[in-house]
């Protein structure tokens, strides 16, 4: 497994008035488990934490390294190791068809167009998506688009897969399709999710609250802790 290291990594942003706001407080973590889930409320800092792991966001202070590669100094190498899947597949699927999207992701690895096309089809076949290769991405279901988005990232064979709430926009059937796909992958995985059943599939779980890692432990303990946190924040008169 890769070693994902945050050493006092913090993220602050400046608003239109010039005031600084801390999105993620200084965080130190060593992540080596095969499956790591990250849970927490919207706006808690989950996505920021995930985006630090492949250099989509740079720390305002501290550092983030992947197997010793610094996201500031070695960004291109980090992104070759760490693939990122967004919540909404529309953020990743930019070509007319699924085959073309996968080919686009392979453009740096495979220069020969015919070889690139063959490799793209092989990736689609691996995930049971070959029949969708020539369909418009706009004609696909939400689940099919998300599976295709994951396939485009996995086609370049990253060692780590980071997913930001990959099932949030999906119905139950498609959530289960994505969950089944993720369960069979070899990659080390870090995923943020509101699906607590999916969070329980991990080896380690982090609970993010108000820009901090509020709990770090086993998935079952983390989910129980998070449920208590949510219950404590709901006024008594609204719990009935």
Query: Does residue 239 carry a pLDDT above 60?
Result: no
Buried b (16+ CB within 10 A) or exposed e, 134-154: ebebeebebbbbbbbbbbbbb
Distance CA 119, CA 85 (A): 20
Confirm if 133 and 124 have CB atoms less than 8 A apart: yes
Residue spans of the domains in the chain: they are 4-238
Please give the pLDDT value at position 30.
Answer: 97
Strand partners, 5: 30, 65
| Residues 28-62: tens digit of each pLDDT | 999 999 999 999 999 899 999 999 999 999 999 99
| Residues 167-205: tens digit of each pLDDT | 888 888 888 888 888 888 899 999 999 999 999 999 999
Query: Does residue 236 carry a pLDDT above 50?
Result: no
Please give the pLDDT value at position 234.
Answer: 65
Domain 4-238 has CATH 3.30.420.40: no
| Residues 14-27: tens digit of each pLDDT | 877 777 889 999 99
């Amino acid at each position: 497994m890769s070693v994902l290291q945050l050493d006092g990594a913090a993220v602050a942003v400046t608003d239109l008035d010039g005031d600084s706001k801390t999105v993620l407080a200084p965080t130190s973590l060593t992540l080596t488990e095969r499956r790591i889930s990250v849970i927490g409320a919207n706006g808690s800092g989950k996505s920021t934490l995930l985006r630090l792991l492949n250099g989509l966001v740079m720390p305002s202070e501290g550092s983030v390294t992947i197997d010793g590669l610094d996201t500031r100094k070695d960004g291109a190498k980090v992104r070759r190791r760490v693939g990122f899947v967004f919540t909404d597949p529309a953020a990743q699927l930019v070509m007319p068809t699924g085959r073309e999207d996968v080919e686009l992701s392979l453009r740096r690895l495979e220069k020969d167009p015919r070889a690139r096309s063959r490799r793209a089809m092989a990736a689609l076949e691996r995930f049971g998506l070959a029949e969708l290769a020539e369909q418009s991405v706009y004609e696909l279901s939400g689940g099919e688009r998300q599976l295709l988005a994951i396939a485009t990232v996995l086609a370049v064979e990253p060692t780590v897969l980071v997913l930001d709430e990959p099932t949030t926009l999906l119905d139950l059937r498609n959530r289960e399709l994505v969950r089944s796909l993720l369960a069979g992958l070899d990659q080390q995985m870090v995923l943020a999710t509101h699906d607590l059943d999916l969070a329980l599939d991990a080896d380690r779980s982090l609970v993010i609250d108000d820009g901090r890692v509020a709990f770090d432990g086993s998935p079952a303990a983390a989910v129980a802790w998070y449920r208590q946190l949510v219950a404590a924040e709901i006024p008594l008169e609204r719990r009935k």
